[in-house]
Amino acid sequence: MRFQKLVTTAALLLIGAGVSGCARGGYGFGPIPQGSSGGVPAPVGGGAPTPRPACRSALKTVPDPQAPHGLYVWIDSLEQTKNQPAILQYLPKDANLCGASIVVFWSAVDRGPAASPQYDFAAVESAIKPWASAGKLVNLLFANVNETGTSDTATPAWVLAQTGANKVNSVACPDPGPGQNAGPPTPVYWETGFEKPYRAFVKAVIAAYGGDPRIGYMRFGVGPGAEDFVAHGADGACLAKWQAYGLSARSWATYSIAQVNYVASLHSKAQQLVALNTFDDVAQPYDVPDAVASAAAAAGIGFGTENLGSGSFVRSSTPCADVSPVPYWCAAFAAHAAKVPLQFQTISYTLDPSLPNIPQLPALLPYGITNHAQIFELYPQDWLTADDSAYASYAAHHGAWLKALTSAAALLGGSP
């Protein structure tokens, strides 16, 4: 997720501890039960059953009842559950968890036009299996470019190796500015050599998973990290480098909207989402997130942000318009709530010692729900704080975290 500057703890007043688009109602969510809110699973750790509507059912307690909803764990790669076995040991048993949102690199699937088949989904299937076997939904988040690091391993090597008319230029920004992590040299997305094979990949993914009942939703990155920004520093310290290739806030909005409309044109039965990100073009200001959100909503595509808890965004569980400064996503969320599903991912896990000013989970969840979100992607560390008695933060925070998750699941849905 894109890092935003964090305000001091003292500044946080936390309360509460178009295009014919995606087919609506085709996400595997059944009709709203009459006289029932869904299943009644027992809470983690035992005790009296806690009513939770089902993750897979249409739900009257969320803004867009027929669309996906619920609490998910964000899995940052196909390898994370291998590196952190506690995730699969504890989380599939959590009745508050609807499933997993798994980041998949384009390069993990696309073996190049000389291969047969070109698109190999074996690694994706392996990632889906343990969650689906536990009755959980899986959301697929596709990253076309690395957000951080020194080399771009998300883009298939064969794409970057093209020459001639299909050569893909890259822009390096080793010093993106204060508060931002440097990323690798970033491909120029709108060049034919990048855009054409990426669209072919998107089409292949939707053909493979667009009607799969194991899938809750998908999010294809417009920019790095399954999000919608160009690169760290592209609208700041390195803007001049990108301007040489024609970049401005308006041109990025135009490109982003074209990608949104392309995804919509593929008529996936699985819900599609797109991330909203800012673009600070001082010379030519343009409201990129508002333009992208409007296009997405018109096409039946949901949207959200991947930086909940950063900036001065969280004051309390009050409407975002009532705080100052108003978050960049606030107007779009207010304008399109109940039209498409809205989503938040936290900027990090909420006890991250390197980011001590992030509001904690018991404050973030009610804030997000108040501001129309019905999908939350939470870091594994927050889930393990609630579920794993051997986890470092369990003893101090287990009770509060479990209560926050259970309260949210009572509105957003849960799963056996």
pLDDT tier for residue 8 given thresholds of 50, 70 and 90:
very low
Task: Kindly report the backbone phi and psi dihedral angles of residue 101, in degrees, each rounded to the nearest multiple of 5, phi listed first.
Answer: -105, 110
Average pLDDT value over all residues in the chain = 89
Strand 342-346 vs strand 375-378: parallel, antiparallel, or unpaired?
parallel
Which tokens belong to 135?
């009755």
Does residue 101 have a pLDDT over 80? yes
- Nearest of 104, 29, 126 to residue 70 by alpha carbon: 29
pLDDT tier for residue 30 given thresholds of 50, 70 and 90:
very low
Residue 35 or residue 288, greater confidence: 288
| Spatial separation of the C-alpha atoms in residues 85 and 35, rounded to whole Å | 40
For range 379-392, the mean pLDDT: 98
Q: Could you report the per-residue pLDDT of 102-138, keeping only the tens digit for each?
A: 999 999 999 999 999 999 999 999 999 999 999 999 9
Question: Is the CATH number 3.20.20.80 carried by domain 9-412?
Answer: yes
pLDDT reported for residue 323 = 83
For range 38-47, the mean pLDDT: 40
Please enumerate in sequence order all residues whose Cβ is within 8 A of that of 233, keeping only pairs 6 or more positions apart, or say none: 173, 175, 176, 177, 180, 182, 239
Q: Could you report the per-residue pLDDT of 184-222, keeping only the tens digit for each?
A: 999 999 999 999 999 999 999 999 999 999 999 999 999
Beta bridge partners of 73: 100, 378
Task: Tell me if the pTM is above 0.85.
Answer: yes
| Spatial separation of the C-alpha atoms in residues 330 and 328, rounded to whole Å | 6
Does residue 17 have a pLDDT over 60? no
pLDDT tier for residue 40 given thresholds of 50, 70 and 90:
very low
Does residue 5 have a pLDDT over 50? no
Domain boundaries, the chain: 9-412
For range 141-160, the mean pLDDT: 97
Residues 37, 39, 44, 48, Cα dihedral to 10°:
80
pLDDT reported for residue 283 = 86
Tokens 């009050």 sit on residue = 318
pLDDT reported for residue 26 = 42
pLDDT tier for residue 293 given thresholds of 50, 70 and 90:
very high
pLDDT reported for residue 343 = 98
Residues 123, 167, 231, 138, Cα dihedral to 10°:
-20
pLDDT reported for residue 27 = 43
Q: Could you report the per-residue pLDDT of 151-182, keeping only the tens digit for each?
A: 999 999 999 999 999 999 999 999 999 989 99
Q: Could you report the per-residue pLDDT of 231-241, keeping only the tens digit for each?
A: 999 999 999 99
pLDDT reported for residue 21 = 55
